[in-house]
Amino acid sequence: MSLELNIEKIGSIARQKEKENLRFRSFLKGLDSDKVDIIVHRLHQEIVEQIDCTECGNCCNNLKPLVNDNEIERLSQIDNLPVEEFKIRFTELDDIDDGRYLKDIPCKYLMNKKCIIYSSRPKDCKSYPHTHKKNFTSRTLGMIYSVEICPIVFNIFERLKSELRFR
């Protein structure tokens, strides 16, 4: 099965399959989480090897990464700003978990589909799309959102449907 890499086509297909993906989410909830993780992690490895995220940057156009205090300090140094000024200008509080997110969409560090602080990017950016992490079935709502954004997630979802014979 070949990979779909065209981000416009991915977005279009994902929107068309929104109801199907929500049904698939419910289907996944009924399966053994550990077994789903094994499949997802294998698919993640296979697909990540074929996709260069630095050629896409679509996540940086659509998402707000979580940043911790150390990352805020590092980013404020990169921007040559005091930490508090950086927080006020470039972050926002998340009411749910009391964390902070970079608030600019697209990300202020994205230029020509490339992250200009790639080696210093936040941990949330480094670990995106989070398909290598455990408990995939408990994070499927976020994954459904990412299906439209990320070629890795899109292709994992489509292959997972096929392997699990989801109809």
At residue 87, the pLDDT reads: 96
Question: Please, what is the average pLDDT of the chain?
Answer: 94
Q: What ranges do the domains of the chain cover?
A: 7-59+129-163, 64-126
Of the candidates 37, 64, 43, which has an alpha carbon nearest to the alpha carbon of residue 155? 43
Flag the least confident range among 17-31, 62-76, 85-99, 113-127. 85-99
**C-alpha count within 13 angstroms, C-beta hemisphere, residue 82:** 3
Residue-wise pLDDT for 141-163, tens only, equals 889 999 999 999 999 999 999 99
pLDDT above 80 (res 24): yes
- Packing angle of the helix pair 7-16, 151-163 (nearest 10 deg): 50
